[in-house]
Structure 1
Amino acid sequence: MTGDRQIRVESEFAPLRTVVVARCEFRGPADPELLGHSMPVEPGAVGILEAVGPRDFGEVYPDRQRAWAGEREQLAAALTRHGVEVLRPRLFTEAEKTAAGPAGYGNFFVRDPWFTVGAHVIEGVLQFPHRRLEILPSRELLLDRVLPSAARYVAAPQPGVDCGPFLEGGDVLVLGKQVFVGRSGMATDEIGCRWLAKYLAPFGFDVVPVRLPTHVLHLDCALGLVRDGLLIACRDRLPDGLPESLRGWDVIEVDEDEAAAMATNGLPVDSATYITDPQFARVGAELQDRGITVEYIDFTVSRLFGGAFRCSTQPLLRA
């Protein structure tokens, strides 16, 4: 029975109890213009992804595909060692791959198609056409875990033909009853943000929009909450500065190049343990100086696609 399993996320750094770890599937669009705008990727990855074209990434780069899957397996194993229950979405079916058509498909960053705020599980709407079906591999898991629970389970309105609303989990950071929502125009839009604020308001949540530059996909590519009073941020990606309630926090600063490589996109296991890539050893040293235990996992291939540890995970229980 799953009815007694708890579904709740109190904050970005509350102890992680149950988490979904992403799969590794990507097929590029038949026409690059179907992306709508340039997909943000790790610096140096543009040529690699352009070479994929309308083919599956693993067909073009079998060695990188194996390494990519290995990265996620290492992350899952590390979380299991910490006592975290790890769940996985299924892979796309052949019918789903066919249905994706010339837009291509992505099943690689489970953070974005749905998210958890308090005891609310919300299916969002992804802006990139190749990611529109990304909710499907998680749907059975959600039906199994969330429907029998006491948590609320809702979905954002579907977008128009050439407009939103759009609402993506990488833009949503939870801090108790405060919910920070990034808005760059590349992912979550104004209507998506307003819808989330309207839905959550009766439950006592305050949605705080955070403006981002147009080249930054999600808020977690600019800001990461490590523990109460400590965060990692790229100020160049926060044109209005930190949200007011975070301005008294201790800040580990990263520059634009570090942020583009995903330095803010690590994963707190709890308020004393943090997972990041060895690429960010400088950030890790600053965390260690502040009493945080840092674990390193090489996420080179995952970062090619413009995401890292937070993007690759979605909590069902952080409390």
Structure 2
Amino acid sequence: MKLHINNETSRLKAVVLGTAESVGGIPNISEAYDPKSIEHIKMGTYPKEEDMIREVESVADVLKKHDVEVYRPKLIKNYNQIFTRDIAFVIEDKFIMANILPDREQEIEAISHVINQIPSENVIELPENAHIEGGDVMPFGDYILVGTYTKEDYKSFITARTNKEAVQALKDLFPQKKVVPFNLKKSNVEPRDNALHLDCCFQPVGKDKAIIYKGGFLDEKEYEWLVKLFGKENMFEITRDEMYNMFSNVFSISEDVVISERNFKRLNNWLRDNNIAVEEVPYAEIAKQEGLLRCSTLPLIRE
């Protein structure tokens, strides 16, 4: 398999889509990795497996409709395998395995049938001290945009997933690229004030547009840098509640087609106004775990 990913929006040819089968029921609060899941566990509104299966398979149907080759993880019984973006990501022709929470290492083994098709020299394991998840990494032409958290209290946040050592590792791996880090706001207790990954508060769409939430960035100058890069007129600014509902976590099949949650009316209308077709799917149950469409997909090949 010849991998090729240079951005978020070129025509998608192959992707790994997560699965919601046999997710293992409602976790204990001690087993939850983010404040939104904890909130729904406490309220008794944590999503049911059958609803999540229906939602993920609706995405599989859209991808197949657009002639995308869809790979799925091997099933691990009683285990959540929805969010494939967490476990790895592709830049250029390199498949980079994320140094993720230790409990989740078996998720990588579950996609070994995909990894085995990639030349071994292009499968990269980062140094052990470089913590990273794919939701924080966005290839954008000459840039690699990276969500991170660099304060001294990094270890106290279950929601801090990508550290400065990982940013440096990407700089070493891709010296020809400009690796740009963004410090994200973190909270273990309030999901409305927690940007779990960069794609929870920012994502490019179309040819030159982007979705962004200012409140997700700790440093306003870093937010302003992105606004300048795209142009204010090309930015769709989302609110705190829209960030909580994961408005920036849509997924592009191409510059002209985006998969989005069907309830994102304001965003979906804006996309259509900008000549981007919207494939609406139900994904509100999966959103209760602080992840949405980009989190569930691991693109392998784009044109």
Give me the TM-score of the superposition, normalised by structure 2: 0.85
In structure 2, the partner of 1:289 is 273
1:43–1:304 CA contact under 8 A, matched in 2:
no
Letter in 2 for 1:176: G
Counterpart Cα distance in 2 of 1:130 and 1:47: 22
Shift of 1:46: 3.7
Query: 1:172 and 1:122 mapped to 2: Cα distance?
Result: 11
How far the C-alpha of 1:41 sits from its partner, in A, is 2.3
Distance in 2 of aligned mates of 1:34 and 1:21 = 23
Q: Does the alignment pair 1:306 with 2:271?
A: no
Asked whether the 8 Å contact 1:42–1:261 carries over to 2, the reply is: no
Contact 2:17–2:72 (Cα < 8 Å) also in 1: yes
- What corresponds to 1:168 in structure 2? 133
Alignment partner of 2:54 out of 61, 70, 89:
70
Q: Say yes or no: does 1:152 pair with 2:122.
A: yes
Contact 2:55 2:282 in 1 (8 A): yes
Tell me which residue corresponds to 1:207: 179
Q: Distance in 1 between matches of 2:26 and 2:131?
A: 20
User: Relative to structure 1, is the Cα distance of residues 257 and 131 closer, same or farther in structure 2, using a 3 angstrom cutoff?
Assistant: farther
Shift of 1:281: 1.0
Structure 2: which 5+ runs fail to align? 155-159, 187-193
Equivalent residues of 2:29, 2:41 under 8 A apart:
no
**Structure 1 residue 178 corresponds to structure 2 residue 136:** no
How many angstroms apart in 1 are the aligned matches of 2:284 and 2:109?
26
CA distance in 2, matches of 1:30, 1:251: 37
Aligned length: 281
Distance of 1:75 and 1:261 partners within structure 2: 18
Cα distance in structure 2, aligned partners of 1:301 and 1:292: 25
Identify which of 113, 117, 127 aligns with 2:87. 113
Structure 2 counterparts to residues 214-293 of structure 1, below 5 A = 214=186, 215-239=194-218, 240=220, 241-244=223-226, 246-248=229-231, 250-293=234-277
CA distance in 2, matches of 1:242, 1:295: 30
Give the aligned partner of residue 189 of structure 2: none
Letter in 1 for 2:198: L
What percent identity do the matched residue pairs reach?
Answer: 26
Comparing 133-142 with 295-304, which one deviates more in the overlay?
133-142
1:156-198: CA deviation from partner (whole Å, max 9, x where unpaired):
123xxxxx42111000011112110101341101111111211
> Residue 34 of structure 2 corresponds to which residue in structure 1?
39
The answer as to 2:302 corresponding to 1:318 is yes
SS in 2 for 1:231: strand
Alignment RMSD (CA, Å): 2.5
Is 1:81 the counterpart of 2:46? The answer is: no
Relative distance call for 1:43 and 1:248 in structure 2 (3 A) is farther
Contact 1:42 1:260 in 2 (8 A): no
Shift in alpha-carbon separation, 1:242–1:138, aligned structure 2, 3 A? farther
Of 156, 167, 179, 1:193 maps to: 167
4+ aligned runs moved over 3 Å, structure 1: 25-35, 242-245
Using the alignment, how far apart are the partners of 1:311 and 1:7 within structure 2? 19
Amino acid at match of 1:66: E
Go from structure 1 to structure 2 and tell me whether the alpha carbon gap of 1:31 and 1:45 turns closer, same or farther (over 3 Å shift): closer
Task: Tell which deviates more after alignment, 307-316 or 178-187.
Answer: 178-187
